[in-house]
Amino acid sequence: DAKTTQPNSMESNEEEPVHLPCNHSTISGTDYIHWYRQLPSQGPEYVIHGLTSNVNNRMASLAIAEDRKSSTLILHRATLRDAAVYYCILRDVAGSQGNLIFGKGTKLSVKP
């Protein structure tokens, strides 16, 4: 499976936008880019996913580079509740069972 590279940690101020980067230079044509986050003492939760086009939902936006070798998760206004570990994951839905392969993720701290 193709791997992703994320910074170990990032800091943000409350109510400011946050851009969480992810590199995936070996991504294949059938890999979807998924983001999950894990709040302290909880299981991971789905945030957003995309294939080629930028995506928006109520939680975040996903910006995908034209060559698909990198992507950025955008939280438009960080809140204290957004402090979590954010995981960027590639899922090849062609012939796979769909299990997620997590890296270490980016630990986001949000300062009041």
Partner 1 sequence: DTGVSQDPRHKITKRGQNVTFRCDPISEHNRLYWYRQTLGQGPEFLTYFQNEAQLEKSRLLSDRFSAERPKGSFSTLEIQRTEQGDSAMYLCASATAYNEQFFGPGTRLTVL
Which stretches of the chain bind partner 1, using CB under 8 A? 34, 41-46, 49, 85, 87, 91, 93, 97-105
Identity of the residue numbered 79: T
Give min distance, CB of 103 to partner 1, in A: 6
* Minimum CB distance to partner 1 smaller for 53 or for 99: 99
Strand order in the sheet with 18-23: 18-23, 70-75, 61-64, 55-56
Give min distance, CB of 89 to partner 1, in A: 9
* Minimum CB distance to partner 1 smaller for 46 or for 69: 46
Give min distance, CB of 112 to partner 1, in A: 25
Instruction: State CA 72 to chain mean position distance.
Output: 7
* Minimum CB distance to partner 1 smaller for 1 or for 14: 1
Nearest of 76, 74, 90, 89 to residue 20 by alpha carbon: 74
Nearest of 46, 56, 112, 48 to residue 83 by alpha carbon: 112
